[in-house]
Amino acid sequence: MRIVADLHIHSYLSRACSPQLRPARLYEWCQLKGITALSTGDFTHPAWFAELRGTLVEAEAGLFTLKPEIAKPVDDAVFPSCRAPVRFVLGVEISCIYKKGPRVRKVHHLVFMPSFEAAGRFNADLAKIGNIRSDGRPILGLDSRNLLELVLKADPQAVLIPAHAWTPHFAVFGSESGFDSLEECFEDLTPHIFAIETGLSSDPAMNWRLSKLDGITLISNSDAHSPEKLAREANLFDTELSYAGIFDAIKSRDGRFLKTLEFFPEEGKYHVDGHRKCRTRLDPKETLRRNGLCPVCGKPVTIGVLHRVERLADRPEANQPAGAADYENLIPLKEVLGEVLRVGPASVRVDALYRRLLESFGNELFVLRELPLARLEKEHPLVALAVDRMRRGKVRIDPGYDGEYGTISLLSEEDLTSKRQLALFDA
Amino acid sequence: MPDHLNPAQQTAVEAVDGPVIIVAGPGTGKTRTFAHRVAYLIQDQHVPPERILAVTFTRSAAAEMKARLTGLLGKVPDGLWVETYHAAALRMLREQGYPFGPGVDFSLIADEDKPRLLDGLVPRKEAAEFLDDLRQKKQRLEWPEAGPASEYQKRLAARRQLDFDDLFLYAMRLFEERPEAAATYRDRFTHIVIDEFQDTSFAQYRFARSLASHHLCVIGDPDQAIYGFAGSFRAFEAFKTDFPNHRVCRLSENYRSQGVIVQAASQVIARSSAQLPRQLTARLANGLPLAIARYGTDRQEAEMIARKIETLLGGSSHFAIDSGWAQADDERRAYGLGDMAVLYRLHAQARAIADAIERAGLPYRCYGKPAPAEDLESVIADDTGPRGEAINLMTLHRAKGLEFPVVFIAGCEEGLLPYERSDDPEEERRLFFVGMTRAKQRLFLSSAAKRFLFGKTRHAEPSPYLSDIQNELRQMEEVQAPRKPPERGTQQSLF
């Protein structure tokens, strides 16, 4: 069956995360967003682990759903147009901070377990090594290779996938504290790495410029710190609804993994180079011309993902390898609506229109990707125009840098004024 | 540190005849000189390895010495003894079948088993004090003659057990009862080299002295003697008296720490009386100034240490970096977790610091009290499985012999440094000196105006040691408690 999976999120127990990130809210938002399978996030945290055990039941092998008595009132409140089954997979992001050679490495990894028993074994091992009580995304002073060893020991079906592989500060290929190859990071256990997460600031095409990633599957997830951010990136499968169905599809590259749904990478926080504090955004070529130094403060700039890919790439152009899934770029619906209504995406007016569209047509991903434009046009012509542009990739972007999101626009001033009257009726 | 030995180290390595004192200040390449000296004896002087006894202070120091010898000689030569005092005594007792007779083995009693052995002898509440007292007596080589101590001794013997301090009592008794046994070792070990000599106890000293016949070399730094409470005595003074024809070699070039750290530490120790002429010069550049900070409370101090650690890690989360929580540091480099140590005078200070680091979600390892003879830890099985890197939390005492790129010393306050219950203020100063000189690149000294300790809130001025450090070496940071917003009532009354 068709499955949309978002495999990287956090719970309310992770640092700087929304208190809304609890099982029932996640279950609700999955339906609004159009997610079939969601990572629980944070399963190493004892309180979250206990909460998950208390609220979830196994539905298919390795996949869990909310207990019926908890699900019922949530289902009743979800728009009928959006109702759909939701599954959880036990996942966590782990931050490894350690020295390898003379350098400090800071690398984040996604870990998945096929059962509560396996997750429990893994948690017990980690608790002996470090502190997993303080943060849903635990920080361990553990070498990535040794973490992978513990993952593999916990269960034969357990999986480790390097997270947002290109971000400068916390990634396997990061410019600040990462590596130049998976082998450097995982040594003898590298063959167990069959996928990486591309992160918001890179898309598959950028990764296809590295021949050494040809056999590695690229997955995309939201890394949501609040429920509204779910599925801003996600994975689309046509596979059996089970833990093995999802991860075998990622591993085997046999066509069951259809595509990833991506941010426009320029919108990501670390796409190009620069200094946020100095408000300096630099194209990689410009950075090189300036010897990596900020024209404002004279210190080295934060090297973004585009630059880093360029540094490690061995192909001048992207070349989609055999078996690689496709991708398409998306913009979160609320951002689209915010631009149409000329207000912030978190505003009350945007929320009202958002809910109206979902109630009329179905979940957010359906509206963004599949809803026939003619139907949307009847409801809101300007939104239809913006969504059409998004689907065709007709966007204007000021790229993100050094932790600052890029800004994206779909509509011109002309679009907004000529259709303004129509828009006003609907807003 | 350069590849070759510096002239002072070279002289110390080659001064092999007769009794020699090598005074080695912190970071001057003491361990290296020690290892080179042993290698020199074997390679250049052709001393058979079995004629050499190398004594280290801890088991980990012995392991490091063996690693260095392997580096210099290709392997640890057969027959060479690299042992702690305790392990050397233990090995001799076992070889001689003493005290329970040939073939009758014995074990060492674990600390936690001792109180049980005192059942019916000493009220449980007094057990710790009793054992401490007994320990000190044994370190002065006083046999328990009567009363509960002697009964305890009998019970130990009935279990075929010794406690750590018994090792020297029995070794000395062995040498008395069987002079030929002592002669065996005296003849065998023509060359004895002893590390960390300043912390040698009376019992250990007598043990070593009874083995020394020809060439005895002691290495250490009287300014780093910090184990007075554990029964050490002025070992260098005793050595000078007992071996009047000794030579003194001095290592004074510090390769470990940035210049400001060496200078500040020297200014602190300069106020204490010197047992041997002292000198310490930095070989590294000055580096960044020392950070001396004063906080309102111990909680605030702990919070700011955790925050600084996060900064020095280069930010440990996107949140910390993007929000500016981890402020930019003056130095653009990232330190690892294990590069950092937070040191304090008392174990009781650890809790607040550990809590703050825990809240930051960072891994730490809090080292407990060193076992009375940490050097005999072989009885404790080593942890298996991977161990993560972690921020090190330990007492100043525990930090002896270690070094870290980044050192925080928390609680630099009157009452703690010097500790008000210590009866040796000179030793407290040395302890602070030892703590400061653990730092390679960065040293952070902090104090709190109010501290909750042993169930009481106490107010304290900064440690007097801080005022011995010249202003130009340091950067001051005054942190006040966040001001409370004015209360609504008072504001309204203004109108």
Q: What does DSSP say about strands A87-100 and A103-113: parallel, antiparallel, or unpaired?
A: antiparallel
pLDDT average, residue stretch B387-411: 93
Tell which of A266, A289, A316 closes a domain: A266
For residue B377, the model assigns a pLDDT of: 41
CB pairs under 8 A between A and B: 93
Residue with tokens 């010393």: B409
Are B411 and B344 in contact, with CB atoms under 8 Å apart?
A: yes
Kindly state the DSSP code that residue A393 receives in the 8-state scheme: T
In this predicted model, which residue has the larger pLDDT, B275 or A381? A381
Q: Do B322 and A403 touch (CB under 8 A)?
A: yes
Chain B's closest residue to A144, CA to CA, is B388
The answer on A163 and A30 residing in a single domain is yes
Do A360 and A222 belong together in one domain? Answer: no
CA-based nearest distance A196→chain B, Å:
19
Give yes or no: residues A149 and A254 share one domain: yes
Give the Cα separation of A17 and A225 in Å (integer).
5
**pTM, rounded to two decimals:** 0.86
Name residues whose C-beta falls within 8 Å of residue A229's C-beta, 6 or more positions apart in sequence: A222, A223, A332
Which of A104, A137, A141 lies nearest to residue B335, judging by beta carbons? A104
What distance in Å separates residue A62's CA from the closest CA in chain B? 28
Amino acid present at A251: K
DSSP-assigned letters across all residues of B64-128: HHHHHHHHHHSSPPTT-EEEEHHHHHHHHHHHHTTTT-TT---EE--GGGHHHHTTTTS-GGGHH
Which of A128, A137, A176 comes nearest B314 by C-beta? A176
A337 and A231 both lie in a single domain? no
Contacts of A296 in chain B (CB under 8 A): none
By DSSP bridging, strand A234-238 and strand A2-6 are antiparallel
Last residue of a domain, one of A217, A248, A266: A266
Contacts of A170 in chain B (CB under 8 A): 317-318
Is A116 contained in some domain?
A: yes
**How many Å apart are CA A334 and CA A354, to the nearest integer?**
7
Any domain includes A285: no
Out of A266, A285, A302, pick the residue that ends a domain: A266
Domain extent for A8: 2-266
Residues 6+ apart with CB under 8 A from A92: A40, A41, A42, A43, A44, A110, A111, A136, A137, A138
CA distance linking residue A128 with residue A44, whole number of Å: 12
Chain-chain contact of A143 with B334 (C-beta, under 8 angstroms)? no
* pLDDT given for residue B487 in this prediction: 37
Please indicate, yes or no, whether residues A224 and A368 belong to a single structural domain of this protein.
Answer: no
CB atoms within 10 A of CB A124: 11
Question: Looking at residue B382, what is its pLDDT?
Answer: 42
Do A30 and A151 fall within a single domain?
yes
Residues A60 and A156 occupy one common structural domain = yes
The answer to whether residue A355 is domain-embedded is: yes
Distance, CA of B454 to CA of B448 (rounded, Å)? 16
Residues B62-112: tens digit of each pLDDT: 999 999 999 999 999 999 999 999 999 999 999 999 999 988 989 999 888
Q: How far is CA B425 from CA B234, B396, B421, B464, in A?
A: 15, 15, 10, 12
| Contacting residues of B for A177, CB less than 8 Å apart | 314, 334
3-class DSSP assignment, residue B343: strand
Question: Do A224 and A129 belong to one domain?
Answer: yes
H-helix or E-strand spanning residue A418: helix A413-418
Average pLDDT, integer, range B427-456: 95
Nearest to B291 by CA among B305, B306, B270: B305
Cβ neighbours for B158, distance < 8 A, ≥ 6 positions apart = none
Q: Chain B within 8 Å of A28 (Cβ-Cβ)?
A: no
The yes/no answer to whether this complex scores an ipTM above 0.85 is no
- Asked whether the beta carbons of residue A137 and residue B317 sit closer than 8 angstroms, the reply is yes
Question: pLDDT: is B448 or B277 the higher one?
Answer: B448
Q: Alpha-carbon distance B144 to B170, whole Å?
A: 12
User: Does A186 lie in the same domain as A92?
Assistant: yes
Choose from A13, A44, A94, A104 for mutation: most chain B CBs within 10 A.
A104
At residue B482, the pLDDT reads: 44
Do residues A118 and A155 lie in contact, with contact meaning Cβ atoms separated by under 8 Å? yes
> pLDDT tens digit string along B112-159?
889 889 999 999 899 989 998 999 899 899 998 888 999 999 999 999
Are A340 and A262 in a shared domain?
no
Length of chain A: 427
Give the closest-approach CA distance of B303 to chain A in angstroms: 15
B-proximal residues of A, 179-218, CB under 8 Å: none
pLDDT tens, N- to C-terminus, chain A (427 residues): 999 999 999 999 998 899 999 999 999 999 999 999 999 999 999 999 999 999 999 999 999 999 999 999 999 999 999 999 999 999 999 999 999 988 999 999 999 999 999 999 999 999 998 889 989 999 999 999 999 999 999 999 999 999 999 998 899 999 888 999 999 999 999 999 999 999 888 899 999 999 999 999 999 999 999 999 999 999 999 999 999 999 999 999 999 999 999 989 999 899 999 999 999 999 999 999 999 999 999 988 999 999 999 999 999 898 999 999 999 999 999 999 999 999 999 999 999 999 999 999 999 999 999 999 999 999 999 999 999 999 999 999 999 999 999 999 999 888 887 655 555 544 4
In a domain, A188, yes or no: yes
- CATH (domain of A150): 3.20.20.140
User: How would residue B372 be classed by pLDDT, with cut points 50, 70 and 90?
Assistant: very low
* A2, A34 Cβ separation under 8 angstroms: no
Same domain, A124 and A240: yes
Distance from CA of A210 to the nearest CA of B (A): 26
A300 in any annotated domain:
no
CB contact under 8 A, A139 and B322: no
Residues of B with CB under 8 A from a CB of A: 313-319, 321-323, 332, 334-339, 358-364, 385-390
| Tens-digit pLDDT profile for residues B217-263 | 999 999 998 887 655 688 999 999 999 999 999 999 999 999 999 99
Q: Identity (one letter) of the amino acid at B449?
A: A
Q: What DSSP line would sit under B143-211, residue for residue?
A: PP-SHHHHHHHHHHHHTTEE-TTHHHHHHHHHHHH-HHHHHHHHHH-SEEEESSGGG-BHHHHHHHHHH
pLDDT per residue as tens digits for the range B297-332: 999 999 999 999 998 988 766 666 666 555 556 666
Distance between terminal CA atoms of chain B?
Answer: 70
Determine contact: A345 vs chain B, CB below 8 A: no
Q: Determine the average pLDDT of the residues in B19-25.
A: 96
A22 and B CB contact within 8 Å: no
Distance CA B474, CA A53 (A): 54
CA distance A130 to chain B (A): 6
Asked whether residue A357 is assigned to any structural domain, the reply reads: yes
In which band, very low, low, confident or very high, does the pLDDT at B274 lie, cut at 50, 70 and 90?
confident
Task: Tell whether A326 is covered by a domain.
Answer: no
Is A139 close to B362, i.e. CB distance below 8 A? yes
Q: What is the DSSP letter of A100?
A: E
Among the partner residues A134, A142, A269, nearest to B388 by beta-carbon distance: A142
Q: How many CB atoms lie within 10 A of CB B124?
A: 10
Q: Which residue has the higher pLDDT, B377 or B211?
A: B211
DSSP letter (8 states) at residue B387: -
Q: Minimal Cα distance from B339: which residue of A?
A: A99
Residue A282 is encoded by which pair of tokens? Answer: 């630099």
A360 CB near a chain B CB, below 8 Å? Answer: no
Pinpoint the alpha helices (H) of B191-258. 202-211, 235-242
| Other residues' Cβ atoms within 10 Å of the Cβ of residue A278 | 15
- What pLDDT does residue B202 have? 93
- Is B337–A97 a contact, with Cβ atoms under 8 angstroms apart? yes
Does one domain contain both A133 and A224?
A: yes
Provide the token pair at B475.
């950067």
The residue to which tokens 């898309």 are assigned: A203
Q: For residue B361, what are the CA distances in angstroms to A14, A129, B306, B358, B408?
A: 10, 14, 10, 5, 19
Secondary structure class of B162 (helix, strand, coil): strand
Q: In sequence order, what are the beta bridge partners of A330?
A: A263
Q: Which of A104, A127, A45 is nearest to B385 (CA)?
A: A127
- Owner of token pair 């980044």: B406
Q: Place B474 in a pLDDT band, splitting at 50, 70 and 90.
A: confident
Number of separate domains in chain A: 2
Radius of gyration of chain B (CA): 25
Element of type H or E holding A389: helix A381-391
* pLDDT of res. A201: 86
pLDDT at B486 over 50: no
**Which amino acid does the sequence have at B49?**
P
Instruction: Please report whether residue A85 resides in a domain.
Output: yes
The answer, yes or no, to whether residue B278 has pLDDT greater than 70, is yes
Mean pLDDT, to the nearest integer, of B449-456?
93
The β-bridge relationship of strands B391-395 and B340-344 is: parallel
Return d(Cα A275, Cα A257) in angstroms, integer: 37
Q: In whole angstroms, what separates CA B132 from the centre of its chain?
A: 20
